[in-house]
């Protein structure tokens, strides 16, 4: 579909009992996405977190999520399931012990960014069955880097939970819905 000047275009989504009109925003020349931002949307975060907690396999040991937008989602899935979660940071902090880092190009930022696992969290992942939690899985770049970091420290990625897949559907991702990409023409 074409994006033209005028009223802001939106894309309707449903998360559990909650519906939202997502603004369609151009993130690169000719490429627009339906912007899904859970930060500050407690209702959507609770609905998605509770739904995803029900889909979480019982044999998962730990949830791993990248900061920052999916953080509250991981908190809710953790609270509902009783599973711990750890957060992969986007900057290396001075207090981190032997951090493990990977660079990734994100579709929503377009620039390379760092993913860093604090060495302090490594024992919580090593030898454990891991579920990756993210808000939107799009190009899969973040997912690929997360998987690399988790496997490098001896964790096994058994499950990927997301609120939405975007662009192409991915059978390895357990998602509540799908977002198309929008191209200007």
Partner 1 sequence: MTQTKQDVTVNIGGVTRTLASARAGSMGRVPLVEFIGDSEFTKAVAEEMVVMIPEGTEVLLTVVTNALPLAHELSHLSGLPYECVRKKRRPYMQDPIIQDAPSMTLGVAETFWLDSPHAARLKGKKVAIVQDVISSGGTAQTLARIVERSGGTVSGYLAAFRQGESALALPFKYLEKLPARI
Site for partner 1, rule CB under 8 A = 25, 27, 35, 39-40, 42, 45-46, 67-68, 71-72, 75-76, 78-79, 84-87, 89, 94-95, 108-110, 120-121
Q: Cβ closer to partner 1: 103 or 169?
A: 103
Q: How far is CA 19 from the centre of its chain?
A: 19
Do residues 115 and 150 touch, judged by C-beta distance below 8 A?
no
Q: Which is nearer to partner 1, 85 or 182 (CB)?
A: 85
CB of 75 to partner 1, least distance (A): 4
Write out the H or E segment, with its range, that includes residue 101. strand 100-105
Output 89 or 147, the one with its CB closest to partner 1.
Answer: 89
For residues 182 and 25, is the Cβ–Cβ distance under 8 A? no
Shortest distance in whole angstroms from residue 68 CB to partner 1: 5
């Amino acid at each position: 579909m074409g994006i033209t000047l005028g009223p802001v275009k939106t894309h309707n989504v449903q998360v559990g009992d909650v519906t939202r009109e997502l603004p369609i925003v151009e993130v690169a020349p000719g490429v627009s996405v339906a912007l899904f931002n859970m930060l500050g949307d407690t209702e959507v975060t609770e609905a998605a977190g509770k739904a995803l907690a029900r889909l979480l396999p019982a044999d998962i040991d730990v949830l791993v999520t990248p900061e920052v937008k999916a953080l509250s989602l991981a908190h809710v899935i953790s609270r509902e399931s009783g599973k711990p979660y750890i957060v992969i940071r986007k900057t290396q902090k001075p207090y981190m012990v032997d951090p493990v880092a990977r660079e990734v190009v994100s579709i929503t930022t377009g620039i390379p960014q760092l993913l860093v696992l604090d060495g302090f969290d490594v024992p919580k992942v090593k030898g454990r069955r891991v579920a990756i939690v993210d808000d939107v899985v799009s190009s899969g770049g973040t997912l690929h880097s997360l998987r690399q970091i988790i496997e490098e420290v001896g964790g096994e990625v058994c499950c990927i939970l997301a609120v939405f897949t975007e662009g192409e559907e991915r059978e390895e991702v357990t998602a509540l819905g799908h977002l198309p990409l929008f191209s200007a023409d």
